[in-house]
Structure 1
Amino acid sequence: MPSELEELVGFIAHPTQQIRQIAIENLIPYATTQPEIFKTEQLTPIKHLKFLVRDDPEIAQHALDILINLTAEQDVLENVATDDRFLGIILGLVTDASEPNANLLSMLLANLAKWDGLKILAERKQTPPPALGSDPLVLNQLMDLFVKGADGSYNKHADYDYLAYLFADLAKHPEIRNFLTTRQDYDGVQPLNKIKVFTEHASDIRRKGVASTIKNVAFDIPTHPDFLAEDGINILPYLLLPIMGNETYDEDEMMDMLPDLQLLPPDKQRDRDATIIQTHVETLTLLTSTRAGRDLMRAVKVYPIIRETHARVEDEGVQEVCERLVNMLMRDEEETGREMGRIEGVVDDEDDKVVEV
């Protein structure tokens, strides 16, 4: 016999809007405390929740709140992520300039990226809204949403910050890394160049996701020359500026630093999130995998910046990765041996868990 909560779950499919709304609003807390009540009858309630994302905006909001939390459950995640029709619906909704729940849709997409099969977005296409001025490739549309969301110029209801977490998890896959470093035909820009500018953005979510995206792409050693080239991605200033504060350097050190890093204002602050600083230093360490990378970092005086970061950031994780990077930069190249052919290690999972609301 169904429990009272299970009976309440049944009302989210009621034909009367007011009843649906009352039922779904009261069920929101149970998505995290009793997720099993949504798994009855072979996940039928999940099917109903997916249908409701196109309901009245308030009902859709509650349905998305519940789905975002329920995708912490592996069986629900797979059910939602493998539903190609539903994926098409949320991709169509999130790109709509008038969609009031676009941020929640972005969060749901970020969660779905925990399913490895979402790398299919590397090839998926849909007609872009004229207002977006983008390309049929869905990834390009999501990237353009992310850029426009930074200043609210596309959808007044959304900043699309959580798409940074989507990009970070997708960048675990070679197909997505290739997309991020390839100039796109419709605008001639490498997508990674579109998002690197947000490493000092005000949003913690945006900065954290972008930092992890950059790090995950940096696991691909063949991209390193483009990462470091001034006429390529030119990533070093965007990794180093966030980890720098208002400390002063000897003149001979400062004059050899990258131009963007010289004569910083006295009120310059390093990133307040130690995990983001750690991610940037880990990315710098990945970029020392080649002799060219190490030589460039020595030439532009990365060591003094890491020295000051180590001294001023009282975080065990940050200090550990700083020491590892210093060891790479100070090593005797005559004893280095042959270059690394690939990087072993675990690709960065954004938070290693789903987003919850």
Structure 2
Amino acid sequence: MLLSNLAKSDSFARLLDLKRPSVRTLSSTATNAFDQLLDLFNKGVSGSYNPTSKFEYLPYLFADLAKFPPISTHLISPSDPKDLPLLTTFTPHTSPPTLPLPLRLGSTAVIRNALLSVPAPLDNIPSLIPHLISPLLLPLIGSDPAFSEPETDLLPPELQLLGPEHVPETDLQVLNNIVESLFLICARGGEGARKSVRDLGAYPVVREVHVGIEDEGIRESVERVVQLLMGDEVEKPEDEKIVEIF
């Protein structure tokens, strides 16, 4: 929490360039402070670094740092095309709601902030979007979603048979982070990203969120996502500017 508060200062972005000796007890040979902290989070959250601490507040630090373009670029653009973007470090922690709230809230905030602040167009990073959609949709799906069979078939296989034990996210801040992340992917990723999001069944998922939630802010965010996903697919008269989305 202290580190997260320090990251409110712009000068704390220097963690990316702060050189340090490699740490024997971490899994990688990272020699900068940012990557060492990321390694600490990866090991800590599984309990393999310190069994008495899960380091679940560290995502708050990364969420604040992700607002800086050099760090968001570092998280989103892999140095080797064969590697996954570092941002995918946080995707296993978007769900289920039984995970500690700081872990879910911080991880979804990292994703949202990185998507917002990275200078490069997201469609220049084809390895990123497919790895984000399932983790972002999973917390939005209810245990008994009202999907048609064709809509269910669009979903990634891991989201199709969740079973009655699946519990959707209820925290409004986490939900807001997720919906805003979907919006940023659609808005900043170009038509290719929107097609990927559509093809992976996002529309019926966010539609059901809109039906089931009362918070007006999240409802408005969902409507913005749907306008991007479906608006260009609806034929409109020249004098009609509003797309009927629900």
**TM > 0.5 between the two?**
yes
Taking the aligned partners of 1:322 and 1:142, their CA distance within structure 2 comes to 34
Q: Report if the CA contact (8 A) 2:16-2:35 is conserved.
A: no
**TM-score, normalised relative to structure 1:** 0.59
Cα deviation 1:20-72 (Å, max 9, x = unaligned) = xxxxxxxxxxxxxxxxxxxxxxxxxxxxxxxxxxxxxxxxxxxxxxxxxxxxx
Residue type at the aligned position of 2:229: L
Cα distance, 1:128 vs structure 2: 2.9
Taking the aligned partners of 1:265 and 1:153, their CA distance within structure 2 comes to 30
Alignment of 1:133-148 (within 5 A): 133-134=27-28, 135-148=30-43
Aligned-partner SS, 1:331: helix
Stretch moving more, 214-223 or 236-245:
214-223
**Which residue of 2 is the match for residue 280 of structure 1?**
178
**Which residue of 1 is the match for residue 11 of structure 2?**
117
Question: Would the alpha carbon gap of residues 204 and 226 (structure 1) be closer, same or farther in structure 2, given more than 3 Å must change?
Answer: farther
Aligned-partner SS, 1:145: helix
Taking the aligned partners of 2:83 and 2:36, their CA distance within structure 1 comes to 15
**Which residue of 2 is the match for residue 30 of structure 1?**
none
**Which residue of 2 is the match for residue 198 of structure 1?**
93
Aligned-partner SS, 2:186: coil
**Which residue of 1 is the match for residue 107 of structure 2?**
210
Cα distance, 1:122 vs structure 2: 1.3
Q: Report if the CA contact (8 A) 1:125-1:138 is conserved.
A: yes
**TM-score, normalised relative to structure 2:** 0.84
Taking the aligned partners of 2:51 and 2:89, their CA distance within structure 1 comes to 21
**Which residue of 2 is the match for residue 127 of structure 1?**
21
Cα distance, 1:333 vs structure 2: 5.8
Question: Would the alpha carbon gap of residues 224 and 259 (structure 1) be closer, same or farther in structure 2, given more than 3 Å must change?
Answer: farther
Aligned-partner SS, 1:235: helix
2:147 matches 1:255: no
Taking the aligned partners of 2:22 and 2:3, their CA distance within structure 1 comes to 18
2:133 matches 1:236: yes
Taking the aligned partners of 2:233 and 2:210, their CA distance within structure 1 comes to 24
Residue type at the aligned position of 1:212: A
Q: Report if the CA contact (8 A) 1:226-1:234 is conserved.
A: no
Q: Report if the CA contact (8 A) 2:44-2:55 is conserved.
A: yes
2:2 alignment partner, one of 99, 102, 108: 108
2:224 alignment partner, one of 324, 349, 353: 324
Taking the aligned partners of 1:206 and 1:133, their CA distance within structure 2 comes to 21
1:269 alignment partner, one of 161, 167, 174: 167
Gaps of 5+ in 1: 1-106, 336-357
Residue type at the aligned position of 2:76: T
Cα distance, 1:233 vs structure 2: 6.0
Q: Report if the CA contact (8 A) 2:85-2:127 is conserved.
A: no
Cα distance, 1:261 vs structure 2: 1.6
**Which residue of 1 is the match for residue 213 of structure 2?**
313
Taking the aligned partners of 1:226 and 1:270, their CA distance within structure 2 comes to 32
Q: Report if the CA contact (8 A) 1:214-1:283 is conserved.
A: yes
Residue type at the aligned position of 1:191: L
Question: Would the alpha carbon gap of residues 227 and 271 (structure 1) be closer, same or farther in structure 2, given more than 3 Å must change?
Answer: farther
Taking the aligned partners of 1:248 and 1:227, their CA distance within structure 2 comes to 33
Cα deviation 1:189-228 (Å, max 9, x = unaligned) = 5321222211115011011111111011112363523666
Cα distance, 1:237 vs structure 2: 0.5
What root-mean-square deviation, in Å, do the aligned CA atoms of Structure 1 and Structure 2 show?
A: 2.3
Q: Report if the CA contact (8 A) 1:285-1:324 is conserved.
A: yes
Q: Report if the CA contact (8 A) 2:90-2:108 is conserved.
A: no
**Which residue of 2 is the match for residue 165 of structure 1?**
60
Instruction: Please identify runs of 4+ aligned residues in structure 1 that moved more than 6 A.
Output: none
Cα distance, 1:326 vs structure 2: 1.4
Aligned-partner SS, 1:234: helix
Instruction: Return the index of the structure with the highest Cα Rg.
Output: 1
2:48 matches 1:153: yes
Q: Report if the CA contact (8 A) 1:310-1:322 is conserved.
A: yes
Taking the aligned partners of 1:292 and 1:195, their CA distance within structure 2 comes to 23
Gaps of 5+ in 2: 236-246
Taking the aligned partners of 1:116 and 1:311, their CA distance within structure 2 comes to 40
2:70 alignment partner, one of 175, 185, 207: 175
Question: Would the alpha carbon gap of residues 332 and 178 (structure 1) be closer, same or farther in structure 2, given more than 3 Å must change?
Answer: closer
